[in-house]
Amino acid sequence: MAREAWGRWGAEDEAGAPNLAGPAEVLRAASLVRTGRVVPLAQTLHAAMPVPGHRAGMSHFMGRDGGDYAAGAKRPGGFQFAEDTVVLPLHSGTHVDALCHAWCDDLMYNGFPGSAVRSTTGAQRLGVEKLPPLVTRGILLDLAQDGPLADGTPVGRAMLEAAAARAGVVPEPGDAVLLRTGWLEAQEGRPRRLISFDAEPGLDEEGAVWLAGAGVALVGADNYAIEVLPFPPGQVFPVHQRLLRDHGIPLLEGMQLKPLAEAGATAFLFVAAALPIKGATGSPLTPVAVL
Amino acid sequence: MAREAWGRWGAEDEAGAPNLAGPAEVLRAASLVRTGRVVPLAQTLHAAMPVPGHRAGMSHFMGRDGGDYAAGAKRPGGFQFAEDTVVLPLHSGTHVDALCHAWCDDLMYNGFPGSAVRSTTGAQRLGVEKLPPLVTRGILLDLAQDGPLADGTPVGRAMLEAAAARAGVVPEPGDAVLLRTGWLEAQEGRPRRLISFDAEPGLDEEGAVWLAGAGVALVGADNYAIEVLPFPPGQVFPVHQRLLRDHGIPLLEGMQLKPLAEAGATAFLFVAAALPIKGATGSPLTPVAVL
Amino acid sequence: MAREAWGRWGAEDEAGAPNLAGPAEVLRAASLVRTGRVVPLAQTLHAAMPVPGHRAGMSHFMGRDGGDYAAGAKRPGGFQFAEDTVVLPLHSGTHVDALCHAWCDDLMYNGFPGSAVRSTTGAQRLGVEKLPPLVTRGILLDLAQDGPLADGTPVGRAMLEAAAARAGVVPEPGDAVLLRTGWLEAQEGRPRRLISFDAEPGLDEEGAVWLAGAGVALVGADNYAIEVLPFPPGQVFPVHQRLLRDHGIPLLEGMQLKPLAEAGATAFLFVAAALPIKGATGSPLTPVAVL
Amino acid sequence: MAREAWGRWGAEDEAGAPNLAGPAEVLRAASLVRTGRVVPLAQTLHAAMPVPGHRAGMSHFMGRDGGDYAAGAKRPGGFQFAEDTVVLPLHSGTHVDALCHAWCDDLMYNGFPGSAVRSTTGAQRLGVEKLPPLVTRGILLDLAQDGPLADGTPVGRAMLEAAAARAGVVPEPGDAVLLRTGWLEAQEGRPRRLISFDAEPGLDEEGAVWLAGAGVALVGADNYAIEVLPFPPGQVFPVHQRLLRDHGIPLLEGMQLKPLAEAGATAFLFVAAALPIKGATGSPLTPVAVL
């Protein structure tokens, strides 16, 4: 009932469920391309993005810019350039949670100790750089076809099955399953300080286990934390624990799924490649759907 | 002879040559998938990466980690997690140069003023978030099949044509052209402080113009700056100026191309999606080849 | 009426009014020490400090800590240590505004051009490292003896003279004048998001000019911006412009003055030494009063 | 023989030896002011400062600057300003080591556990904000009157006593003792990459214990680590352990002492006030001597 995927790909495995998206799944996914339309699935990253109260936003600093030339900076050989630096909390915007992001009982996915994640080294095990780029079939389960789900709505097996039926798809091994709850769209235009990160519609444990049982390689959603908030009484991030730790399934949070839904996409070539930051617990990225 | 691409996609265009990789090119690229093998093309990002002297390296900070739990931190509901932040110069590791990265005569690609790039706003025009994810045919031009090119070797049209002939490919509109010079591989194992960023083999202006003339959507390479260093006398980053500014062609620097060469890949599905950081001049990313 | 101090200490002067606190003023100040009590005048700096909406807060990251040892990190020779890094906006907490912080008409104090302050170099003129440590007589003008002034209360000459009379002091050349408005104390215990930076009691232009006319070396206060907010109609930070730019008087914002008032201090040895960050526009610091 | 100061100022004390600089010592120090000359004792902080290989340098970013106005930024009401942010490793430049910086046997000064220093909270005990500003007598022990000491020279009791005799001073309880080894001066003009942090002249354990026995409140020096490098065989930072942990004496590293020596200063009013960063292990600061 727990630790279902531990040992499945060997005692040293640090990739988890993305192992299920092998060459055959890549070929299947490539064959789904019909129109050649590319749909980016990421939010824009910027300093004014809403963030939960316990987290800092990103900062973006220009080290050199056009203003410097306007102010008289030299341009050797005529060359002018600009460059910049970000201070970037890695769970910002649209991002993947690496398998070292969450755990319990001091043990992470595949039995690696939580103590392998340290200030001095980052994650010595299960860092985001251990996740291979994912190229596989993506399926969109649209739960918001009638408008955003209400905050606190748990998305369980029945809702997932109904959405899959509407889409005419069935989750299969190696799939990237993308859940549209409408949460992100519902925040649009709201003043930043009025956006709550305490409640959202999202996956419940039953739904999570059902997806894991289908062999999915990744679960993504357009909400803040994949799973329903508030948590069931006495539990804290149960879906994170079940999917990341027990099933080795990375989570892709904060996706922009409205354009995909509006395009009527249901099954498509999906590509998601994190920044290979050594020892990191996550990474912003731009997943793409190719229709 | 200069500003060749200005106005080609309209006065307001901020995407440049990636416009050449439209649905037809996506379909062509998807049809190239043969084995389903996915090859990531990025260097690992870490604090000890070599960087040129005028740039800072990245820093990676854990905000919460396994050590905190070992030291006694509470685990409400049993939940444990780790999270982290990077200070990330955006031209680190394998990264794309956005079209606002380099210019001359105070004008950037498509005539946008350099003064649109400011400390307060970042790039109001041509920021990296304006580059669409690129899904297109990639071709590998392997210039290092007999070992790394010597530092200072200019890669011109003849060498490019010879490499293309060896690979049995011809650069076509919308292609992502990847140049393997062997530079990155030659640095492997060198102590960080002995790695020079003053000399490298790379594209010269003739070669760059030839690629641009072929209609390529992007030029990538495994060296530090795409172009040959040192520059020809009196010039400073001439290839950056010609490709980014005149032709609107983004550059993809610091790629890891050895595995692709070793796989014998010549033409393949190529996907590159930058972080959509508002107003940024570039972005690390993980390009992938799908064979 | 404007630019009063320009040229007073020479065309190349970058120190401004602190020039008025010379050896004689230092000796005078040292002679004021009576009890040997040291009163620190700075707020604690931490990540949860309230900041105005357009600014980021500080971040504090541990690079090595006790948790790492609890998790098993090695301790060569038994040695254990911790170290850390801050991302620190320089106008955080109790801080000094350097003379390059504010200007108008493209000219800063002493006629230096605003264009000398660039992304690439920081402030080539008037950076905070050009401010000498200030050791001089401090005087406390307590405007909040009956409780915090209401937001929007302008502090003009009459209020300053009355406070000085109550304290039995007269501002003299070289003095550091500290204004207690009660603003900071009034924020204590308020939830961070309810703290407004749009209104506060503070110095008005008349009061500022009166202090400048007295020859003070520095003006400090316990509010966010020294001057009254909102501004008089049509003006933006007029006191910053008059004091920093016209009179070369650095400002010391966000001071913790309640303990000084409670100690009954009126004239004392005052020491304020900024971090000498090359080209910076300000610096957090810990001013001290020695009673 | 170890843990000499534990419990001396109570089981909850987090200030350590600075407790020895009380009102009487402040009064004594103030009485030493003779000429009113103020000598700052800090290095300038800038991005190109040499740092040991395992540490990152500081970065300085302008968020708004004169270039932005040159490029056309608006100036409401005529007001122009600049502001900036630093990424600042706290043991940069001239800085104080807080009592939580180093320890052994999992116990810090006064028996507080090393596990109180965590990523999530910083140092819950002995953070730099717990160090009171130090206002006391400073004495300069000039070991470099004949030129910089050679790297690796241990400074023991005899050298300290000889230097004190030359200066005509005796270390007394509450003193800040400043050691000039000449190391910092010897690095001036050296290319950054040639500066070694593996060897330096500095205090040895015998010298450290002698100073601690005299009751000093703080030990400062012009070298990188106070203590001699390389360490004696089998030991790692023994002076850090003895002074910080056993005696509760903060260390002030990287001081600029040449101007003080050139002024012939031997005993003077000394003021050092760290940034009160909650939970930090150290802080850059600008100590001053008042002659």
Among A23, A255, A12, A281, smallest CA distance to A129 is for: A281
Q: Which residue of B has its CA nearest to A102?
A: B81
Collect all residues with Cβ–Cβ distance below 8 Å to B59 and sequence separation of at least 6. Answer: B47, B86, B87, C85, D56, D87
Helix (H) or strand (E) holding D163: helix D157-167
pLDDT class of A70 with cuts at 50, 70, 90: very high
Residues of A near D (Cβ–Cβ under 8 Å) read 59, 61-63, 65-73, 85, 87, 119
Question: Which residues in chain B have Cβ-Cβ distances shorter than 8 Å to C119?
Answer: 119
In angstroms, the CA A151 to CA A184 distance is: 11
Q: Are strands B134-142 and B267-272 parallel, antiparallel or unpaired?
A: antiparallel
Collect all residues with Cβ–Cβ distance below 8 Å to B220 and sequence separation of at least 6. Answer: B41, B176, B177, B178, B179, B226, B251, B252, B253, B255, B272, B287
Q: Which residue has the tokens 């140092």?
A: D123
In angstroms, the CA A275 to CA A253 distance is: 15
Q: Looking at the predicted structure, is the pLDDT value of residue B260 above 80?
A: yes
Contact predicate A14/A126, CB 8 Å: yes
Q: Which residue of C has its CA nearest to A74?
A: C120
Answer whether B86 sits within 8 Å of A90, measured CB to CB: yes
Report helix, strand or coil for D79. strand
Residue D97's Cβ-count burial label (10 Å; 0-12, 13-18, 19+) is: buried
Contacts 24+ apart (CB under 8 A), C261-265: C261/C140, C261/C142, C261/C144, C261/C145, C261/C180, C263/C37, C263/C39, C263/C291, C265/C39, C265/C140, C265/C289, C265/C291
Q: Looking at the predicted structure, is the pLDDT value of residue C53 above 90?
A: no
Q: Which residue of C has its CA nearest to A54?
A: C48
Answer whether D133 sits within 8 Å of C40, measured CB to CB: yes
Asked which of B193-202, B219-228, D73-82, D95-104 is least confident by mean pLDDT, the reply is B193-202
**What's the pLDDT score for residue A47?**
93
Rounded to whole angstroms, what are the CA distances from D50 to B60, B253, C63, D190, D286?
20, 28, 19, 10, 18
Collect all residues with Cβ–Cβ distance below 8 Å to D146 and sequence separation of at least 6. Answer: none
Q: Give me the residue from A59, A64, A117 closest to C120, CB to CB.
A: A64
pLDDT digits (tens, 9 = 90+) for A109-133: 999 999 999 999 999 999 999 999 9
Q: Are strands C38-40 and C80-81 parallel, antiparallel or unpaired?
A: unpaired
- b vs e for C238-266, b when ≥16 Cβ sit within 10 Å of the residue's Cβ? bbbbbbbbbbbbbbbbbbbbbebbeeebb
In angstroms, the CA D128 to CA D125 distance is: 9
Neighbours, chain A (3 or more CB pairs < 8 A): B, C, D
Question: Which residues in chain C have Cβ-Cβ distances shorter than 8 Å to D285?
Answer: 273, 275, 286
What is the rounded average pLDDT of the residues B106-118? 98
Collect all residues with Cβ–Cβ distance below 8 Å to A189 and sequence separation of at least 6. Answer: none
Helix axes A205-213, A157-167, angle to 10 degrees: 50
Q: Which residue of D has its CA nearest to A84?
A: D61
Question: Which residues in chain B have Cβ-Cβ distances shorter than 8 Å to D115?
Answer: 70-72
Structure tokens at B241: 């100026």
Answer whether C67 sits within 8 Å of B68, measured CB to CB: yes
In angstroms, the CA A80 to CA B103 distance is: 5
Rounded to whole angstroms, what are the CA distances from B103 to A81, B100, B243, B248?
6, 7, 10, 11
The Cα of C102 is separated from the nearest Cα of chain A by a number of Å equal to: 17
Q: Give me the residue from A67, A72, A85 closest to D65, CB to CB.
A: A67
How many CB atoms lie under 10 A from the CB of residue D268?
25
Q: Give me the residue from D66, D72, D119 closest to A119, CB to CB.
A: D119
Q: Which CATH number fits domain C17-51+90-290: 3.50.30.50, 1.10.3720.10, 3.40.50.720, 1.20.950.20?
A: 3.50.30.50
Domain residue spans of chain B: 17-51+90-290, 55-88
The rounded Cα D22 to chain-centroid distance in angstroms is 20
Q: Are strands D218-221 and D251-253 parallel, antiparallel or unpaired?
A: parallel
Question: Which residues in chain B have Cβ-Cβ distances shorter than 8 Å to D119?
Answer: 62-65, 67-68
Q: Give me the residue from D70, D73, D115 closest to B71, CB to CB.
A: D115
Question: Which residues in chain A have Cβ-Cβ distances shorter than 8 Å to C193?
Answer: 193
**What's the pLDDT score for residue A64?**
98
pLDDT cut 70: percent of chain C above it: 100
Answer whether D63 sits within 8 Å of A61, measured CB to CB: yes
Among C14, C23, C29, smallest CA distance to C131 is for: C14
Asked which of A185-189, B28-32, C263-267 is least confident by mean pLDDT, the reply is A185-189
The Cα of C8 is separated from the nearest Cα of chain A by a number of Å equal to: 27
Answer whether B119 sits within 8 Å of D56, measured CB to CB: no
**What's the pLDDT score for residue B1?**
52
Q: Which residue of C has its CA nearest to A62?
A: C119
What average pLDDT is seen over chain D? 97
Answer whether A57 sits within 8 Å of C59, measured CB to CB: no
How big is the CA angle at B189 (ends B184 and B194), to the nearest 5 degrees?
A: 80
Answer whether A47 sits within 8 Å of C67, measured CB to CB: no
In angstroms, the CA C190 to CA C205 distance is: 29
In angstroms, the CA D274 to CA D285 distance is: 5
In angstroms, the CA D107 to CA D100 distance is: 10
Neighbours, chain B (3 or more CB pairs < 8 A): A, C, D
Q: Give me the residue from A56, A59, A64 closest to C119, CB to CB.
A: A64
DSSP string, C195-231: --SS-B-EE-HHHHHHHHHTT-SEEEESSSSSB-BSP
Answer whether C62 sits within 8 Å of A193, measured CB to CB: no
How many CB atoms lie under 10 A from the CB of residue C111?
11
Is the sign of the CA dihedral B12, B14, B17, B18 positive or negative?
negative
User: Which ipTM value was assigned to this complex?
Assistant: 0.97
Higher-confidence residue: C194 or A149?
A: A149
Amino acid at D232: P
Which residue in A85, A118, A125 has the most chain C C-beta atoms within 10 A of its own C-beta, making it the best mutation to test that interface?
A118
Answer whether C67 sits within 8 Å of A120, measured CB to CB: no
3-state secondary structure chain B: CCCCCCCCCCCCCCCCHHHHCCHHHHHHHHCCCCCCCEEECCCCECCCCCCCCCCCCCEEEEEECHHHHHCCCCCHHHCEECEEEEEEECCCCCEEECCCCEEECCECHHHCEHHHEECCCEECCCCHHHCCCEEEEEEEEECCECECCCCCCEECHHHHHHHHHHHCCCCCCCCEEEEECCHHHHHCCCCHHHCCCCCECEECHHHHHHHHHCCCCEEEECCCCCECECCCCCCCCHHHHHHHHHCCCCEEECCCCHHHHHCCCCEEEEEECCCCECCCCEEECCCEEEC
Answer whether B63 sits within 8 Å of D120, measured CB to CB: yes
Q: Looking at the predicted structure, is the pLDDT value of residue D58 above 70?
A: yes
What is the rounded average pLDDT of the residues D34-43? 98
In angstroms, the CA D136 to CA A150 distance is: 63
In angstroms, the CA A241 to CA A109 distance is: 9
Q: Looking at the predicted structure, is the pLDDT value of residue D90 above 90?
A: yes
Question: Which residues in chain B have Cβ-Cβ distances shorter than 8 Å to D87?
Answer: 59, 87
**What's the pLDDT score for residue C157?**
98
Q: Give me the residue from D61, D66, D73 closest to A63, CB to CB.
A: D61
Q: Looking at the predicted structure, is the pLDDT value of residue C210 above 80?
A: yes
pLDDT class of A26 with cuts at 50, 70, 90: very high
pLDDT digits (tens, 9 = 90+) for C243-280: 999 999 999 999 999 999 999 999 999 999 999 999 99
Question: Which residues in chain B have Cβ-Cβ distances shorter than 8 Å to A61?
Answer: 119
Helix count (H) and strand count (E) of chain D? Answer: 7, 17
Q: Which residue of C has its CA nearest to D100?
A: C82
In angstroms, the CA D231 to CA D199 distance is: 9
In angstroms, the CA C252 to CA A94 distance is: 41
Rounded to whole angstroms, what are the CA distances from D140 to C18, D182, D265?
27, 13, 7
Q: Looking at the predicted structure, is the pLDDT value of residue D211 above 80?
A: yes
pLDDT digits (tens, 9 = 90+) for D152-208: 999 999 999 999 999 999 999 999 999 999 999 999 988 877 888 899 999 999 999
Which residue in C55, C84, C104, C128 has the most chain D C-beta atoms within 10 A of its own C-beta, making it the best mutation to test that interface?
C84
Structure tokens at D33: 């002011």
pTM: 0.97
Among B163, B180, B166, B277, smallest CA distance to B221 is for: B180
Report helix, strand or coil for A126. coil
Answer whether C119 sits within 8 Å of A56, measured CB to CB: no
Which residue in D125, D277, D283 has the most chain C C-beta atoms within 10 A of its own C-beta, making it the best mutation to test that interface?
D277
pLDDT digits (tens, 9 = 90+) for A190-244: 887 788 889 999 999 999 999 999 999 999 999 999 999 999 999 999 999 999 9
Amino acid at B266: T
Phi, psi torsion values for C92, nearest 5 degrees: -100, 145
pLDDT digits (tens, 9 = 90+) for C81-96: 999 999 999 999 999 9
Residues of C near B (Cβ–Cβ under 8 Å) read 59, 61-63, 65-73, 85, 87, 119
Which residue in A125, A277, A278, A288 has the most chain B C-beta atoms within 10 A of its own C-beta, making it the best mutation to test that interface?
A277
In angstroms, the CA D24 to CA D22 distance is: 6
Q: Which residue of D has its CA nearest to B194?
A: D193
Residues of B near C (Cβ–Cβ under 8 Å) read 59, 61-63, 65-73, 85, 87, 119
